Amino acid sequence: MKRILSTNGRTLALIAVLVPLLVLFIYVALRSGPLAPIPVTVTTVENRAIAPALFGIGTVESRYTHKIGSTAAGRIKRVDVQVGDQVRAGQVLGEMDPVDMDQRIAAQTSALMRAEAAALAAEAQVQESSARKAYAEKQAVRYEKLLQAHAVSEEGASMKQQEHQIAEAGLAAARANLEAARQELTRIHAERAGLHQQRANLRLVAPVDGLVVAREADPGTTVVAGQTVVEIIDPASLWINVRFDQLRTSGLRAGLPVQIVLRSRAGQKLPGRVLRVEPLADVVTEENLAKVVFDMLPKPLPPLGELAEVTVALPELPPAPVLPSATVQRVDGQLGVWMIRDGAPHFAPVKLGTTDLDGRVQVLDGVEVGEQVVLYRHRAIDGGSRIKIVEHVPGVSP
C-alpha cells in the first residue's frame, strides 16, 4: 500500500514537471515565429480637412548686389572701406591709380589758357581791322565826293576805294580768326572736361546706400576691366532663394504665407511670404525655384548664403476621408490599405489624393469614413495573416 502511494506521488511529481513544460512548449510554438499572430495597431478613416504644405530649402541672398570695380584695367590706388561698413550713395569707396591722368589734365589746362589768350588776341585783331575799315570807308566816301568836284584824280579815288575793300576783307579775316580761336577754346574745354570725367571714373563710388560685404582686392592689385573690387548689398532687400521638389509644388504661388527657419536659429520660426515663383526651374536638380521674403528682417541680419528651411502653408482643402500615409502599402502592384473586417485583414485598393507634411493623405476612393485600417505592424502582413490588435507595436516605446 505504501509502495503504491509513493509510486503515485512520483507520477504526480513527474506530471507536475512535464505538463507545464509541454504547455510552455505549445505556447512558444504558437506565439513566436511565423505561426504567431502579427501585432498591429489600427486607425480609423476620418473625415477631415487637411492643409497641405510645401517644404523647401534655400539660401539667404540679397536682391540687389552691386559689384563695383574699374571699367578699365589698372592698378588700385586705395580702397577706403572695409567689409561691414555702411556706405551712402555717392560715397567714394576707393580709387584706381590715375597714372598720367593728372598731368594730362594740367597740360589741357595750360592749352586752355593759351587758347583763351589766342581768343583775346583774335578779338583785338577784329577791333583793329574794324577801326581800319571804318577809316578806309570814310576816306573812300570823301574821295568819292572830291572826285565828283574834280578835286582829286580818278586814280586817287579808286585807290581809296580799293583800300576800303581791303580793310573790309581784313575785318572778315579777323572775325574768322576770332571764331576759330573761340572754337579751339571750346574744344580744349571739352577735352579737359573729358579728362576730368575719366579721372572721376577712376574713383569707385557707391551707387546706393548699402553694406559692404566683400573687399576683393587691395591697393596695389592690378585688376582687369570689370573685375569686382568692392561688393555692396542693400540689406533691406534680403530674400531667400528657395528650392522646392517639383513633385510637390502644385499650388505654389506668390503671396502665400511661409515659415522660415534659419540654420543658425533652429527652433525660431520667422514669418514671411512668397514673393514670386520663378518662371525658370532648375533642370538638373528637378526643382522649382521661388523667392521668399521676411515679413520683418531678423536682427542681426543673417549672413548671405545661410541655409534656411521654408515651409509654405497652402490653403486648407475641403474635408474628405483621410488616413495616415503609413497605412498605405503596395501589394501586387496595387496601392491599398489593410482593412479590418471580422478581425481579419482584407486588402482594399485605394486611390490617393493630396498629402500634408504630417503624413496624412486624402483617400479619394476605396475606403469609407469610420472603417478600421491597419496602421503600424510588427511585420508585413498578407491576406492569410492572423493579426492581434495592440496599443503599440512591440519594441516601440510609447
Partner 1 sequence: MISLAGRDLLHSWGKFVFTGVGLGLLIGVTLSMAGIYRGMVDDAKVLLDNSGADLWVVQQDTLGPYAESSSLYDDTWRSILGMSGVARAANVTYLTTQIRQGEHDVRAMVVGVEPGRVGEPGQPGYLAAGRQITRGHYEAVADIASKFKLGDDVQIRRSHYTVVGLTRRMVSSSGDPMVFIPLKDAQEAQFLKDNDAIAQQRRRTAENPAFNRPGTPGLLNAVIASQSANPFVNAVLVQIEPGRAPEEVAEPIRRWKRLQVYTRAQMEGILVGKLIATSAKQIGMFLVILAVVSAAIVAFIIYTLTMGKIREIAVLKLIGTRNRTIAGMIMQQAVGLGVIGFVVGKIAATFWAPIFPKYVLLEPGDAARGFAAVVVICMLASVLAIRAALKVDPAEAIGG
Site for partner 1, rule CB under 8 A: 7, 10-11, 13-14, 17-18, 21-22, 24-25, 28-29, 32-35, 55-57, 222, 224, 226-228, 244-245, 247-248, 284-285, 309, 324-326, 328-330, 332-333, 335, 352, 355-359, 361, 375-380, 392-393, 395-397
Would you report the helix, strand and coil content of the chain in percent, each value rounded to 5? 35, 35, 30
Q: Is it true that the peptide bond before 349 is cis, omega within 30 degrees of 0?
A: no
3-state secondary structure of 340: strand
Contact 132, 155 (CB under 8 A): no
- Residue with smaller CB distance to partner 1, 9 or 257: 9
3-state secondary structure of 357: coil
Contact 81, 215 (CB under 8 A): yes
Q: Cell numbers of 67, please?
A: 559689384
Q: How far is the CB of 119 from partner 1 (least distance, A)?
A: 48
Q: How far is the CB of 335 from partner 1 (least distance, A)?
A: 5
Q: How far is the CB of 230 from partner 1 (least distance, A)?
A: 14
- Residue with smaller CB distance to partner 1, 34 or 100: 34
Q: How far is the CB of 57 from partner 1 (least distance, A)?
A: 5
Q: How far is the CB of 343 from partner 1 (least distance, A)?
A: 19
DSSP string of 286-318, one letter each residue: TEEEEEEEESS--SSPPPTT-EEEEEEEPPPPP
Distances in whole angstroms, Cα of residue 62 to Cα of each of 56, 290, 362: 18, 14, 39
Q: How far is the CB of 90 from partner 1 (least distance, A)?
A: 26
**Distance between CA atoms of 257 and 53, rounded to whole angstroms?**
11
- Residue with smaller CB distance to partner 1, 200 or 335: 335
User: What's the number of CA atoms in the CB half-sphere (13 Å) around residue 171?
Assistant: 16
- Residue with smaller CB distance to partner 1, 152 or 352: 352
- Residue with smaller CB distance to partner 1, 107 or 393: 393
- Residue with smaller CB distance to partner 1, 56 or 170: 56
